[in-house]
A and B are shown apart, each in its own frame.
Chain A
Amino acid sequence: MLKLFAKLLKVLNSDADPGQISLALCLAMIAGLTPLLSFHNILVVLLVLVLRANLSAFLLGLVVFTGIAYLFDPLFHQLGLALLTASSLNGLWTSLYRVTLFRLANFNNSIVMGSLIFSLVLFVPLMLLFNELIRKYRQHVLRWVEKSRIMKFFMASKFYGIYKNVMGTGGMA
């Protein structure tokens, strides 16, 4: 876990495109918030591997979002059930229900539907937000952190050793 976090820090502190990190986190959100063994998550994994999404960010995001998902399950259920039983959408769901691929995707389960719609709706706004946050981090926080006393204390810790291993010998520099 520490290694994973160190890798994320490395990516955050490198020159990597913020979009790749944000994309990884947003894809992790879909895979993490929806039931993990859902059919659509095969597509998410394919996208993570094919697109230049940052793998460390994806894995760390997956752990975090999977943990959060349990808290949100009642909300996902309510949202999914409301959508699946909405009269206006009945025609759409009935058409999808007759397609084997969608049946395999278990879209008619309230939690699958609720969590998938929830994460898809948040996908673009979160991606933009993550992009902005990473830029701000690199611009302001990183420099301040490097000079702070906490950072000096941190550099003496075990985690820093792991971080150095991940980075090579360069440390924070």
Chain B
Amino acid sequence: MKKWIRWPGFGLFAVLVLLLSAFSLLFIDGFMERMLESQGSRLVGARVDLDKADLSFMPLGLTLFRLQVTNPDEPMRNGVEIDRLAMGIDSLHLLERKVIIDEMAVQGVRFDTPRQKSGALTQKGRPEKHGKEGTGFKMPQLQVADVKDVLSRETLETLELARNFEEQLARDQAQWQQRLADLPDQQKLTSYQARLQKVKSSSGLAGLVTGATELEAVRKEVKADLDQLKKAQNDFTALSDSYQGKLAQLKNAPQQDIKRLVDKYGLSAQGFGNMSALLFGEKIGGMVRTGSSWYEKAQPLLQRQKNKQKSAEVIKPLRGKGVTVRFKEDAPLPDFLIRKIDASVVLAAGELRGTINNVTPDQDVLGAPMTLAFAGDKLQGLRSLRLDGVFDHVQPDKVQDSLTLQLRDYEVRKTTLSSAKQFPVTLASALADLSVGAKLRNRDVDATVLTSIKAATFTTDKAAQEGNLLSQALADAVAGVNRVEVKAVITGPVDDYSVGVSSDLDGVLKGAVSKTLTKQSAQFEQELKDAVMTKVKGPLAEATAGYGGLGSISDELAKRLQIGGSLLK
């Protein structure tokens, strides 16, 4: 036994344990500070800085001083800055590797504060932005098209029809000239007259008998020729009628061309139906993008990746190697849980107070959703603010998140609504009520933003409107508005949503635009009409003259029929 046991080893072990404990007590705060900074930076994708971390053991608790979380999209600004963050940690559960915080006090939360040093992590690329950038809110074009340009780009149907008409007419005329040549002509018909005279002048019985036979033969021949000529005349009449119809169609074609081109290049108030998107789209789009970006950043706190393998649950840990397998517990608790956070948020308008409950990436284990409720009254430039949210990931495959925000009497000062070059608009002053209701089912968002703007004063840039009739009309219309109701509807997948904006301002602006457009459109139509008529005048005249050429064939046929008809009388 003595050969294998080294009794002083126990003492040495005890000394080692004591030394390690003493070392931990001395350096644990610094170690904790660096660990929180590095882990936080890894999670956020930008620097997380901490002025001081203070770990206490009896009872177990942690206090953090001045926590700065860089906004990954703007490294010179903090997304969030917190003055003091204090929490008590359940030491018994910590032995089970579970961080359970019953209550956390967060004081002095500020958003979007400036940083002295860049918080960018050099080794990591910037995350991709979600959603549609600048969701296409553009000033509708009011550029009257140049008539010459239009005619150089477009093919006129009239010219096509005229060319076809003339080609067909020339072919038919040639055919009829040939047919006229094949038909009995005036000379042949006149020769029948000579034969008839000869028969009439014959005398004697034999002459009478022979004359009667000859007369019958001549009559038969004349009748046959007349039948041919009549048939030709009927055919020609049908052809002439068809050309008459074609000519009428050709003469109507310029009007059709003008109508088509006016429809295509002319101006209409249709594109101006949703001017709200132009005025409020930028602001609402920006708000939605910010919300969507923070929602994505908060995902690790709401839910984490888990796979069910046989009877155990495999969880991909936030850090470290391997995977952690979770088994059934008597009283299951998440690996990380903050039951309640009491927070005070410092805004430019004043202080907001609120609570956040059940912060955990394992809501399915806890069986309760994360909720938040913040409120502030009598704030500077804002009568009241209320924010409520439920982030329900209890069933990971049936995520149901909802958020409501109510702002009352928010004083708006010098807010740029549209930075479009042709129509820059600023809301100089107003009182606004804002109501946001957003629901998220799995990855599909369905949100409505209702804004009621009262006592509004809109200003526009006079210089930008110089010589622009539309901008002037819009500016005049906007200047006369003092109440606006705006509704924005955001729908679709959270990373590819669409924003629809409407307001009662649309009707006012559309009316102003319509008047200007009607005047401009009429001018464009007249110019186009003149230009088209000039272009088709020649071909139309040629086609009409060609049609007139058919008259000589008709006359010739009529003459031959007249001669032939006189022979049989």
| A interface with B by C-beta (< 8 Å) | 17, 35, 45-46, 48-52, 73, 76-77, 80-81, 84-87, 90, 93-94, 97-98, 100, 103-104, 106, 108-112, 114
CB of B4 within 8 A of CB of A52, answer yes
Contact of B97 among A49, A80, A104 (CB under 8 A): A104
Enumerate chain B residues within 8 angstroms of A94, measured Cβ to Cβ.
327-328
CB of B9 within 8 A of CB of A110, answer no
Enumerate chain A residues within 8 angstroms of B4, measured Cβ to Cβ.
51-52
Q: How many residues of B contact A (CB 8 A)?
A: 30
Docked pose: A84 CA to B327 CA in angstroms: 9
CB of B326 within 8 A of CB of A108, answer yes
- How many residue pairs, one in A and one in B, have C-beta atoms under 8 Å apart? 92
| B interface with A by C-beta (< 8 Å) | 3-7, 9-10, 12-13, 16, 92, 95-97, 309-312, 314, 320-330
Contact of A98 among B13, B320, B323, B329 (CB under 8 A): B329
Docked pose: A111 CA to B320 CA in angstroms: 10
CB of A87 within 8 A of CB of B310, answer yes
Decide: A108 near B96, CB < 8 A? Known: A49-B12, A50-B9, A52-B5.
no
Contact of B96 among A80, A104, A112 (CB under 8 A): A104
Decide: A52 near B3, CB < 8 A? Known: A98-B330, A103-B96.
yes
CB of A110 within 8 A of CB of B322, answer yes
Q: Chain A nearest CB: distance from B273 CB in Å?
A: 59
Enumerate chain B residues within 8 angstroms of A93, measured Cβ to Cβ.
312, 325, 327
Q: Chain B nearest CB: distance from A98 CB in Å?
A: 6
Q: Chain A nearest CB: distance from B545 CB in Å?
A: 93
Enumerate chain B residues within 8 angstroms of A86, measured Cβ to Cβ.
310
Contact of B6 among A17, A52, A90 (CB under 8 A): A52
Contact of A50 among B13, B323, B329, B330 (CB under 8 A): B13
CB of A110 within 8 A of CB of B13, answer no
Docked pose: A109 CA to B320 CA in angstroms: 10
Q: Which residue of A lies closest to B320 (CB)?
A: A109
Contact of B314 among A45, A85, A112 (CB under 8 A): A85
CB of A84 within 8 A of CB of B5, answer no
Q: Which of A45, A49, A77, A80 has most B Cβ within 10 Å?
A: A49
Q: Chain A nearest CB: distance from B118 CB in Å?
A: 33
Decide: A81 near B323, CB < 8 A? Known: A50-B10, A51-B9, A103-B95.
yes
CB of B6 within 8 A of CB of A77, answer no
Docked pose: A17 CA to B4 CA in angstroms: 10
CB of B16 within 8 A of CB of A45, answer yes
Docked pose: A114 CA to B311 CA in angstroms: 19
Other 16 A-B pairs with CB < 8 A, given A97-B327, A100-B95: A46-B9, A46-B13, A48-B9, A49-B13, A52-B3, A52-B5, A73-B322, A77-B321, A77-B322, A81-B325, A85-B311, A86-B310, A109-B320, A109-B324, A112-B322, A114-B322
Q: Which residue of B lies closest to A108 (CB)?
A: B325
CB of A51 within 8 A of CB of B5, answer yes
Enumerate chain B residues within 8 angstroms of A85, measured Cβ to Cβ.
309-312, 314, 325
Enumerate chain B residues within 8 angstroms of A87, measured Cβ to Cβ.
310-311
Docked pose: A12 CA to B361 CA in angstroms: 54
Contact of A106 among B6, B97, B310 (CB under 8 A): B97
Q: Which of A45, A80, A106, A108 has most B Cβ within 10 Å?
A: A108
Q: Chain A nearest CB: distance from B12 CB in Å?
A: 5
CB of A45 within 8 A of CB of B13, answer yes
Q: Chain A nearest CB: distance from B199 CB in Å?
A: 126
A-B contact pairs, 29 of them (CB 8 A): A17-B3, A35-B321, A46-B13, A49-B6, A50-B6, A51-B5, A52-B3, A52-B5, A73-B322, A76-B322, A80-B322, A81-B314, A81-B323, A85-B314, A90-B310, A93-B327, A94-B328, A97-B326, A98-B329, A100-B92, A104-B95, A104-B97, A108-B324, A109-B322, A109-B324, A110-B324, A110-B325, A111-B322, A114-B322
Q: Chain B nearest CB: distance from A87 CB in Å?
A: 5
CB of B312 within 8 A of CB of A73, answer no
